[in-house]
Amino acid sequence: MKTNPRFLSLCRILTLLGLCSAVAFSSGCVAVAAGAAGAGAVAYVRGELRVSLANDYDSVVRASNRAVDQLQFAKISERKDALSDEIEVRTARDKKITILLTKEADKLTRVQIRVGLLGDEQVSMAVLDKIKANL
C-alpha cells in the first residue's frame, strides 16, 4: 500500500504546528523561585503567584489586609469564612488584584495572588513581600 505524499506533508505540517504551539504556550508560563525562610517555594504559574506560608490562617489574613492598606490599594470586596478569604482590590491604575488565602493546616496558609487577567509577576511579588513583612 502506497501512502499519498501530500498526506505525509500535511501530517508533518500539523505535527510541527502542534509542537510549536506547545512550546509557545509553555514558555514563560512557569517561573519558580526559592522562598524566604519559613515559607515554601514561590511559584508563578499562568499569571498567578502561589506560595504556602508557615503561618496560621488568621495571621496571614491580618497581614494581607495590612499590606493592602500600606500599598494604598482600594479594597473592592472581601469574602471570608473560617477556611478561606478572598480579597479584591484595585490599584491606582485600576488594575484588579485578587488575593486568595486558604487554610491548609494549623500553621500553613496558601496564598494565591493574581494581578489583572494575565498576571503581573513584579506586582504579585511586591504584594507577597508586603504580606510577609507584616507577619
Domain edges within the chain? 29-133
Taking residues 11-25, what's their average pLDDT?
57
Span 71-128, pLDDT tens digits = 999 999 999 999 999 999 999 999 999 999 999 999 999 999 999 999 999 999 999 9
Alpha carbon distance 45, 35 (integer Å): 15
What pTM did the predictor assign? 0.71
Q: Could you give the C-alpha distances from 46 to 26, 49, 78, 84, 121, in angstroms and in order?
A: 9, 8, 24, 22, 10
What is the CATH number assigned to the segment(s) 29-133?
3.30.310.80
Cell of 105: 493546616
**In this predicted structure, what is the pLDDT of residue 41?**
81
